[in-house]
Amino acid sequence: MPAPGGMPRLGLGTWHMGESAGQRAAEVAALRLGLDLGLSLVDTAEMYGEGGAERVVGEAIRGRRDEVYLVTKFYPHHASRRALAKACAGSLERLGVETIDLYLLHWRSSVPLAETVEALERLRAEGKIRGWGVSNFDVGDLEELAALREGGHAAADQVLYNLARRGVEFDLLPWCAQREVDVMAYSPLDEGALPAHPALRAVAKRIGATPAQVALAWLLRDPRVAVIPKSSNVAHVRANAAAREVRLDDEALAELDRAFPPPRRKRPLEII
């Protein structure tokens, strides 16, 4: 099922893609396989590989644009009226598309939010983007954004969220759910560290899954959250796609809560 705003629940991340010409074929193949497996959400950014990841995505989705819910992010220093139009044009060219489904401010900028919102709404009116949102915004930032004229049009907030980093559960997830703002969980495997954790290994062994699948299934249990694991390995992409079928019972969820306790107070938003 899609997240509340219609975003696919499980997709393909591209952080660190586009950084090596020798890896390009494998990266394109992994993304294409993901599309074959129904992972239609593709997330990238102009920052990744300084445009290299967008070029990899563009090659992977060529001829398949209708299958893709395409998300990319722009640098904070491109958040002004003049710079954002140019940045969007660059992303569209690298991606080889006419429209971006969701365009995100990568992190908070020194540019006034009102100016950025105005520039995003202009891009939307021109048909260059279908929607826009933010990334790495905490509740205070989101409230400031929502108070602006047209600030309530923000469709998503992409944040660091996984079993080891659960701070957003205290206030950000409820805030977004109440306002129907999609939450995108980046680094769902905590940069690859989570699958080695003994608790995930124990749960995975008992239910017949891999530790990485357990970590992804744990996030997918929440219908408010979309998840974007990155992999250039086709076997890992297949395994990630299969996480959609993994069901965590009450015993597994309790075991994971013991190993990774949910927050009991407000925590500053974590960013990597």
Mean pLDDT by 10 residues, the chain (272 residues): 73 96 96 97 98 98 97 98 97 98 96 98 98 98 97 97 98 97 97 96 98 98 95 95 97 98 96 92
Determine the Cα–Cα distance for residues 254 and 262; give it in Å rounded to an integer: 11
Count of domains observed in the chain: 1
Going by C-alpha positions, the residue among 217, 213, 201 that lies closest to residue 239 is: 213
Asked, for residue 210, whether it belongs to a domain, the answer is: no
DSSP 189: T
Q: What is the pLDDT of residue 65?
A: 97
Identify the three-state secondary structure at position 102: strand
- CATH number of the domain within which 51 lies: 3.20.20.100
Q: What is the pLDDT of residue 2?
A: 61
Q: Between the CA of residue 153 and those of 70, 80, 150, 186, 255, what are the distances in Å?
A: 18, 18, 6, 22, 38
Asked, for residue 108, whether it belongs to a domain, the answer is: yes
DSSP 225: E
DSSP 110: S
Asked, for residue 31, whether it belongs to a domain, the answer is: yes
Q: Between the CA of residue 151 and those of 117, 132, 148, 155, what are the distances in Å?
A: 6, 10, 5, 10
Asked, for residue 2, whether it belongs to a domain, the answer is: no
**Which one-letter amino acid corresponds to residue 136?**
N
Q: Which two tokens stand for residue 189?
A: 């495997």
Asked, for residue 78, whether it belongs to a domain, the answer is: yes
Q: What is the pLDDT of residue 3?
A: 58
Domain range for 23 is: 11-187+224-230
Asked, for residue 251, whether it belongs to a domain, the answer is: no
Q: Are 183 and 225 in contact (CB under 8 A)?
A: yes
Q: Summarize pLDDT for 27-45 with one digit per residue, the tens.
A: 999 999 999 999 999 999 9
Q: What is the pLDDT of residue 193?
A: 95
Cβ within 8 Å of residue 95, ≥6 positions away:
44, 54, 57, 58, 61, 70, 72
Asked, for residue 212, whether it belongs to a domain, the answer is: no
Asked, for residue 267, whether it belongs to a domain, the answer is: no
